[in-house]
Amino acid sequence: MVTYRGYKTQVQYVSETSYGSGGSIGSAIKGKLQNVTLNHSNNFIRTTGLGDGRNETFVGWGNYEATWSMEYEISDFDFLQYGVGVLGGAGSAADPYFLEEADFRSYSGTGLKSFKLEVASKDRTGGTDDVDTAVGCVINTIGISLELGASVKCTLSGFAKKILATNPASSFTASTTKPWIFSQGRFKWDGTSIRRIQSATINVNNNYDPDMGREIGSRFPEEMEPGLRKYDWTLVVKMQSDLANSMRDDFYGMADQPYPGSGTGTGTGEPAFKDIIFDLSQGDASGSKKAQIKLSDNAVNDISKPINIGENLVELTLNGSAKKATTDINNKLIKWWTVS
C-alpha cells in the first residue's frame, strides 16, 4: 500500500485555449500554497414509482458539479488574472504589471480566460501518482487579507467543468518567490494611511452561476458566465482620533440624516465616495518589489464597536463596499513592479 502526503503534493496550472481544453501544465502558483480542495458530485437522479415498493428502482446520472478552493501566501498576482481580467505590463515602475477588469469571457483580447489545474500527490516510492486535473476552471471569489504577525494571504474559490483522474504527474518546479508579510503593507483611506489596523481584507465576487452554461444533451456545464461583480472589504482597527476624523465621520455623513438632501447630505441619494488602497512595499533598494491594490467609489456600510471593561483599547470592525477598481489607469485593480 502507498500513502500520499500533503508535503509531496504539487499544484500547477495553465491557461486554456477554449473552455475545458488546451494548454500544457507547467506553471506553479507564485507564493506558498497552504491548502487546496477539489470537490465533485454526480448528483444522481434517484427515484421510484407507484407500485415499485419502498426501495429506489432507478438511479441515473445527474448534473455533474465541480468546485475547487485554495489558500496561499501571496508573492505575485498573475494567477488572479482568471478572476480579474487581462494580465499586462512589463514589471517596471514606469510600466508595471497590472490586472485589468474584464466583463466577458474570451480567449483573446481582454476577456476572462479559464484554466486547467493539476493537483498531484507524488508516490514516495516512485510508483503511481495520485493526480486530479480540473479543466474549465474559473475563479469565482478572491479574498486578499493582511493581518498582524502573518503573511499576506489570498483565498480563492471557483468552479470547474470536470475533474479527471490522470497519470503520471507533470514535471514540477516549485515557486521560489518570497511572500509579502504584514509589516510591508499599509491601508489608505482617501489617500491617508489609517493607523492601528489589526487586519484588512478585500473581497471580489464574480457571481458565476454554473447552471447558466448548461444545456440539454450534456451532464457538464459547457461554458461559464460571470454575473455581477461585487467588491467588499473589512477593516479591524483600534479606535483613535485619526480614524474618528476620517472613516467614522464619512460613515456618519448620512447616518444621522433622515433622507438624502437634508442637513449635510446630498440630493444624489449616495454617500461621499472615497478611494481605498492596499500598499505593499519591500523597500526602495534595487530588486525590491512593490504592489498596489486600489478600489474606487468606496463607502462604509456598517460599524461594530463592542466595548469591554477588560479591553485596553476600543476596537472597531468596519465593513464597506466599492463600485469598481481604480480609475486612474483604466480600471486596473492591481499593479505591481520591481524597483530597478
pLDDT in tens, the chain (340 residues): 566 778 889 999 999 999 999 999 989 999 999 999 999 999 999 999 999 999 999 999 999 999 999 999 999 999 999 999 989 999 999 999 999 999 889 888 778 999 999 999 987 777 788 999 999 999 999 999 989 899 999 999 999 999 999 888 899 998 998 899 988 888 888 888 888 889 999 999 999 999 999 999 999 999 999 999 999 999 998 877 766 667 877 777 655 555 554 444 455 677 878 899 989 999 899 999 999 999 999 988 998 888 877 777 788 899 999 999 886 667 889 999 999 8
CA distances from 255 to 248, 252, 263 (A): 10, 5, 11
Query: Quick check: helix, strand or coil at residue 118?
Result: strand
Q: Which pLDDT score, from 0 to 100, does residue 262 have? A: 47
In whole angstroms, what is the distance from residue 218 CA to residue 196 CA? 54
In whole angstroms, what is the distance from residue 160 CA to residue 171 CA? 23
Query: Quick check: helix, strand or coil at residue 210?
Result: helix
H-type alpha helices, the chain: 241-244, 247-255
Q: What are phi and psi of 214, to 5 degrees?
A: -90, 160
The count of residues in the chain is 340
In whole angstroms, what is the distance from residue 155 CA to residue 264 CA? 39
Q: Which residues pair with 74 in a beta bridge?
A: 31
CA angle 182, 26, 35 (to 5 degrees): 40
Q: Which residues pair with 234 in a beta bridge?
A: 201, 319
Q: Which pLDDT score, from 0 to 100, does residue 5 have? A: 77
Query: Which has the closest alpha carbon to 294: 241, 335, 257?
Result: 335
Backbone torsion region of residue 168, taken as left when φ is above 0, otherwise alpha when ψ lies between -120 and 50, otherwise beta: beta
CA distances from 172 to 6, 29, 33, 123, 127 (A): 15, 11, 14, 14, 16
C-alpha cell at 270: 449616495
Q: Which pLDDT score, from 0 to 100, does residue 268 have? A: 65
Tally of CA atoms within 13 A in the half-sphere of 276 that contains its CB? 26
C-alpha cell at 45: 437522479
C-alpha cell at 148: 498582524
Q: Which pLDDT score, from 0 to 100, does residue 110 have? A: 78
